[in-house]
Amino acid sequence: MTRDDLIEIIEESRIFQHWHWFSWHFNHTLKGVPNLLADSIVDACLVCENCIPGYAKRTISIISSIGGREKHLPDWEQLLQVLAELLVVSHVLGRKWEDSTTFESEPSVEKRGKNPEILVQNERITLAVEVKAPALFSHQEDRAANPEQVAARFGSQDQIKQLLANPEKVTLPRDNPIKDFLISSESKFEQFQVKKNFVGVLVIVWDDFIYEPLSSLLHPGSGLLTENSFCKDADGKPIVFPSVGAVVLIRQLHQIVRACRDEQLADGLVNPLQYSIPHGFPPKVLVANGVANQDLRQLEEIFEALAPDHKMGAEYTPKELVWWM
């Protein structure tokens, strides 16, 4: 598929048949005028198309279907999820792989099995990737308005309230979506455990406040990947995720939002779906799941991510309370 072929698909899509958040952006593309968001979507789709024929057309179809309700914010948040997937999948597929490597979109081993985004297979690794992005608009409003934030479940509600100046004006942890992401990924990855050298990776695209997902995953008193996880079964035992080898956290959702608003990007990014970043800042984080018996040695290179460390900055360690001054 050529770029012109994909632009023709976009022109005939529903993006221009009903109200759509991206119609203004793609209208530039149809006129041959550069647009940061639209151009990055086209480029990323073509990278994916090289490895998985049909991927570009399907992605445009998904994007074009999310519309029809003027300025409907949930539609925009759903579109951000699609773009987060495109960010990660285009990076993974665009890497230099062995000639024997095969690629599948929405693969499944079992009939009616749940599907991760992609499966990459060669002699060294069978890599399943699931990509998630949370709905953050209301949470971001709370975070901007409230002077205090609880970043993790580090005690009882009464204990936490005693530490707050005003419990009525506090931003609560955004950890339930991460719990749901892990549960969903486990249900999709478990069928692939029979595969040779299998590794399951959940990639979460967050905004700049990366201590939030890190605290949800790793806080020693409640982290979802710790023995004290707040996610428990009916017997009170922590629910574990043995098919999820690692979670990769990326600070880029706000950059995609900036591009949607036609605003300048930060941190040296050239386009919002650019995965590799100049000078490695801000770092991507690789959180290993100790319960999963998987070989994670290749993941740092594949995802350009490192284990969280305080040397990366204060935001790369779990938090309990944050006071905004």
Instruction: Check pLDDT > 80 for residue 111.
Output: no
Closest by CA position to 67, among listed 25, 18, 28: 18
Rounded to whole angstroms, what are the CA distances from 223 to 56, 242, 289?
37, 16, 11
306 burial via Cβ count (<10 Å: 0-12, 13-18, 19+): middle
pLDDT in tens, 224-271: 999 999 999 999 999 999 999 999 999 999 999 999 999 999 999 999
Kindly report the pTM of this predicted structure.
0.97
How high is the pLDDT of residue 279? 83
Instruction: Check pLDDT > 90 for residue 112.
Output: no
Mean pLDDT in the chain?
96
How do the domains of the chain map onto residue ranges? 1-71, 98-323
Q: How close are the terminal C-alpha atoms of the chain, in Å?
A: 52
